[in-house]
Amino acid sequence: EEELVESGGGLVKPGGSLRLSCAASGFTFTNAWMGWVRQAPGKGLEWVGRIKSKVDGGTTDHAAPVKDRFTISRDDSENKLYLQMNILKTEDTAIYYCTTDYYYDSDGRQLDYWGRGTLVTVSS
């Protein structure tokens, strides 16, 4: 069964750093573009960024509010996705979800997986 499991969330002071991990299983991780989506308490969904598969270049894109502070990376040998978050701000407080950004099966159907999320709280 397909599964994404995030870890690494917690309480951090403004200006601090945190690294989130996402362990993937049950699907061909190397073929998937992977991403992070966040949701502040009581707010809507916000796209954080994504990393393409190695075969599609392995490049990253980050949303404007996190660009130059957050970095997405992947380790295909471990089937893991990462989000390095630096210079954290109170407005970064949110549940962070690991997702498949772009992943299709051999019949051309999109397969969409989400983790349960990990809570990041930025507060002094």
Partner 1 sequence: SYELKQPPSVSVSPGQTARITCSGDALPKKYVSWYQQKSGQAPVLVMYEDTRRPSGIPERFSGSSSGTMATLTVSGAQVEDEADYYCYSTDSTNNHRVFGGGTKLTVL
DSSP conformation class of 28: -
Q: How far is the CB of 61 from partner 1 (least distance, A)?
A: 6
For partner 1, which residue of 34, 50, 92, 96 counts as binding (CB under 8 A)? Answer: 50
The secondary structure element, H or E, covering residue 14 is none
**Strand, coil or helix: what is 17?**
coil
DSSP string, 44-60: -EEEEEEE--GGGT--E
**Nearest residue to 95 via CA among 62, 46, 31, 28:** 46
Q: Residues in contact with partner 1, total (CB under 8 A)? A: 19
How far apart CA 38 and CA 110 sit, in angstroms, is 21
Q: Which of residues 70-109 bind partner 1 (CB under 8 A)?
A: 97, 101, 109
Q: How far is the CB of 117 from partner 1 (least distance, A)?
A: 6
Q: How far is the CB of 122 from partner 1 (least distance, A)?
A: 21
Q: Determine, following the binding rule CB under 8 A, whether residue 44 of this chain makes contact with partner 1.
A: yes
Binding site for partner 1 (CB under 8 A): 35, 37, 44-47, 50, 61, 63-64, 97, 101, 109-110, 112, 114-117
